[in-house]
Structure 1
Amino acid sequence: MSGTLLDDVTAIREAATTLRSPQDLDPLVRRIGRARIVLLGEATHGTAEFYRWRAALTQRLLAERDFSFVAVEGDWPECHRVHSCVAGAPGAPNDPGQALWGCRRWPTWLWANEEVAEFAAWLRSFNATGTGIPCGFHGLDVYGLQESLRGIVGYLREHAPDRVDAALRAFRCFEPYGEDPRDGSAGLVPEDCREEVVRLLTTLRSAARIDSVPGLPPAFAAEQNAQVAAGAERYYRELLRGGVRAWNVRDAHLSDTLDRLLRAYGPHAKAVVWAHNAHVGDARATAMATAGMVNLGQLVRERHAADGVVAVGFGTHRGSVVAADHWGGSVRRTTVAQARPDSLEGVLHDAAPGEDSLYVFDDDAGWAHELRGHRAIGVVHDRGGYVPTVPAARYDAFVHCDETTAITPLHRWEPEADTPVVPARTDPGGE
């Protein structure tokens, strides 16, 4: 080991806070302070420790710092069912696991897993003991187009039947996309789909606004379904053209949805976001910037600098993970090989082998201001890689889980008929 790297390891060891219980998160809670938005990442979509530490911190923020809702890298319709459950909406299931079981779009394991079910059960109990607006659980993503369109039609049939025809016209406009936009027929979607979406949004905004779900204004869910349709129209069209614009459209949608939720919950609302590191870490501190990519973390920092934003990255040295061999493939538990010695995860392992550790960055953390490879693994395991990153510029803090274990999916198989959207080829780590 070179002298410089040895010095880094010594400095890292001195900066580490060993994580064994939620109380060990105190330095991070203090760093968050009065921040309005906290972004919590993950280096993979299938690591149990990432979900558990995010849940532990989120529970503290909801209970101690009056945060209003959790927003995740998930589909709006599926997560809205979970929100209805944890918020105690009439007619919603009492068991969050049952609501999560309804997550049917591949890859289901992102949110339909035992770790999220445990957190959602805690959230439902937490809301049941409170007297104010219940803390929500919402999806930010642009996927789930067909389910969003069905939700719009269902809402209008019940509350504004005279406007159903307008929704059906938009539905028919999107029919060529089907459930899988990889189908070449998607290129046949007419340009006036954009106009149909505008009409659809206008229709929903003028429709009857009743049957509020706890924590949200009346008809918010239906209007958000229309926003998903609008975002999907842009995303799918850019996806077919190739390049980075599809990624940028998607992350702009994530950020726009977060802003709508903050407005809906009120001027004092505060949000915790769960998403992949590729989304929550500031793109300007990575090689993403040179590729012309922006992301949620960058957009939130730019839009809400005055409100306070804290981004927390997560990483692992080795262990196991849930992922697939190919897009649309079956879920399986697979191995995470040891990180490269010169990577961020490699030097953190050398500093605290076998431990979960927290690092809150400051100007004195010279090692965190150096460019290093930072591991990213997506839903397809072998598409992972190392993203050149300046850690202290990308994040405000970092949680390193040295040896990790795979999550436990609620579904032991994946639905064959509902395959995933293929991300742009420039997605970091195949995220």
Structure 2
Amino acid sequence: MREDLLLESIRQVSIPFGTRDSMDQLIKHAAKAQYVLLGEASHGTSDFYTVRAELSKRLIAEHGFRFIAVEGDWPACYTLNRYVKGYSDAAADAGTALDDFNRWPTWMWANEEIRELAGWLREFNKDKPDAEKVGFYGIDVYSLWESMDEILKVLETQDKTDLEAARKAFECFEPFGRDEQSYGISASLYGEGCEDQVIALLGRLQDKWKDAHPGDQERALSAELNAMAVKGAEAYYRTMIRHDADSWNVRDRHMVSALEKLVEFHGEHSRVLVWEHNTHVGDARATDMASEGMVNVGQLLREKHGSQVYAIGFGTYEGTVIAGRSWGAPMEEMKVPPAIRNSWEELLHRNTAQDQLLLMDPEDPALGEITVGHRAIGVVYHPERERGNYVPTVISRRYNAFIYLDHTKALRPLAFSNSRYVSGNVK
């Protein structure tokens, strides 16, 4: 690695972050795009959430961005969406609206940082007509059973023919006892899946919002997005048993499809903020994901929309984070150790041990060509295995801009007990 060339390029494009001027410069660039992708290097770092919130507030208030789409489940996020829009059937307060985020990892959205953003969105929306209110939506695929439940609730008050069709489609899933792995094994290895049934159901619900009464349009959209989530989840769990790359691609293609449906609902030129992990928003073609046959949201959107996509990555040198030791394990506040030598984060720390903003040129001879390890922390994290957490990355081809926060702190989960949360250090 040409360390000297890389450090010189960093010095040329880096400015201190956190000042009004740095925020203004970033907003000026991002505001030109229709899709602004706001990453994070972990799902448990408070600073990533708060910076994304501040950027989102300004892009909404000053530049008319219409909704936030996140790496979360449609049903739980839709409950929060109805709260921030102040609908008559919404939760009484933001904390109650976040109660639906009750499936692991709960801390990703049921946290103080999101509660504060929800309060701001509700206040911003307060005096606006429903058609102009800013929304909050989840576009991920994990809500297989929850989305089925929501579809049945909606259809019970509408067309009984569609309700019977939904019940019949969901009967196919009943033998699996709401166990995704059991369904995946049966569908993948024994050909006993429910793909045909969910595709047919989605066909029945597709675009019904277009003919609905204006006051019912978003509810009809919700039924369709839940059906899309069921279809995406079915494909995800069916493919993940055998093909990690295929299941990843199913998930990210679904998120793009859900995002495009939301853009269609809000108007083809509506502008959107996407909150997801760096591994989803940073162009996969600039990482080793490409050699493994994987695509992601950032790549797919850039291929379709080109310069209308502006991706902002995040990173930190050290701090604390909320994560679990294994899938479903109690959440813990863990130490994030100093980044390893010659990683992207360590080079930025060496440049200046302060928060930095990089507005990058993909053709820079160093930033646009040299591959450097870039830290990624998931909901499952083992700090002692630090070297396995770095993604080989050509940084300026992965993102348009990068926000480096030298020292960060853990997210603040809304509620926890001793059985779910370990404070202070790693067990």
Task: Report deviation, 1:91.
Answer: 0.9
Say whether the 8 Å CA contact 2:80–2:98 is kept in structure 1.
yes
Q: Which residue of 1 aligns with 2:288?
A: 287
Give me the whole-angstrom Cα distance separating, in 2, the residues matched to 1:22 and 1:211: 44
Cα shift at 1:147:
0.8
1:36 deviation in Å?
0.4
For residue 410 of structure 1, report the CA deviation from its aligned partner.
Answer: 1.2
Q: Given that residues 201 and 223 in structure 1 are in contact (C-alpha distance below 8 angstroms), is that contact kept between their aligned partners in structure 2? A: yes
Q: What SS does the aligned partner of 1:401 have?
A: strand
Task: Decide whether aligned partners of structure 1 residues 296 and 68 sit closer, same or farther in structure 2, where only a CA change above 3 A counts.
Answer: same
Residue segments in structure 1 that go unaligned for 5+ positions in a row? 417-431
Q: 1:26 to 1:326 in 2, by over 3 A?
A: same
Other structure's SS at 1:159 match: coil
Alpha carbons 1:212, 1:219 under 8 Å: kept = no
Q: What is the number of residues matched between the two proteins?
A: 411
Q: 2:57 aligned to 37, 56, 59, which one?
A: 59
Q: 1:376–1:387: 8 Å Cα contact kept in structure 2?
A: yes
Alignment partner, residue 103 of structure 2: 105
Q: What residue number does 1:419 align with?
A: none
In structure 1, what is the equivalent of residue 197 of structure 2?
Answer: 196
- 2:7 corresponds to: 9
Percent sequence identity is: 42
1:41-100: CA deviation from partner (whole Å, max 9, x where unpaired) = 111000011001111111111011111100000000010001111111221014222211
The alignment's TM-score, normalised by the length of structure 1, stands at 0.89
Q: Residue 236 of structure 2 contacts residue 251 of structure 2 at CA under 8 Å; is this kept in 1?
A: yes
Alignment partner, residue 38 of structure 1 = 36
- Give 3-state SS (helix, strand or coil) of 1:141's partner: coil
CA change 1:84–1:217 in 2 (3 A) is closer
Q: Residues 317 and 338 of structure 1 are in contact (CA less than 8 Å); yes or no, is this contact kept in structure 2?
A: yes
For residue 212 of structure 1, report the CA deviation from its aligned partner.
Answer: 5.7
SS in 2 for 1:410: coil
2:84 matched to which residue of 1? 86
Structure 1 residues 184 and 59 mapped into 2: Cα distance closer, same or farther (>3 Å)? closer
Which is further off, 65-74 or 178-187? 178-187
- 1:156 shift after superposition: 1.0
Say if 1:281 and 1:298, in contact at 8 Å, map to a contact too: yes
Deviations 1:267-301 (A, max 9, x none): 22011000000000000000000001011110010
Q: Report the CA distance shift for 1:206/1:326 in structure 2 as closer, same or farther (over 3 A).
A: closer
- 8 Å contact from structure 1 (residues 142, 231) kept in 2: yes
The offset of 1:37, in angstroms, is: 0.2
Shift of 1:31: 1.5
CA distance change for structure 1 residues 65 and 102 in 2, over 3 Å: closer, same or farther? same
Counterpart residue number, 1:347:
347
| 1:25-424 matches, cutoff 5 A | 25-131=23-129, 133-183=132-182, 186-187=185-186, 191=192, 193-205=194-206, 210=212, 217-305=218-306, 308-353=308-353, 355-362=354-361, 365-369=364-368, 370-382=370-382, 385-413=389-417
Query: Secondary structure of 1:381's partner?
Result: coil
1:191, 1:303 → 2: CA distance? Answer: 35
Cα displacement (A) at 1:201: 2.0
Show structure 2 runs of 5+ residues with no match. Answer: 421-427
Deviations 1:114-134 (A, max 9, x none): 111111111111111445610
What is the deviation of 1:414?
10
The whole-number CA distance in structure 1 between the counterparts of 2:319 and 2:207 is 52
Task: Check 1:199–1:58 CA distance in 2 against 1; reply closer, same or farther (3 A cut).
Answer: same
Q: How far has the Cα of 1:365 moved from its partner?
A: 4.3
Structure 1 contact 44–378 (Cα < 8 Å) conserved: yes
Q: Is the 8 A contact 1:177 1:186 kept in 2?
A: no
Deviation at 1:362, TM superposition (A): 1.7
Structure 1 residues 177-217: Cα deviation after superposition (integer angstroms, max 9, x where no partner): 44442347741586561221133123334979657668x54
Give the drift of 1:13: 3.3
Shift in CA distance, 235/403, structure 1 to aligned 2, threshold 3 Å: same
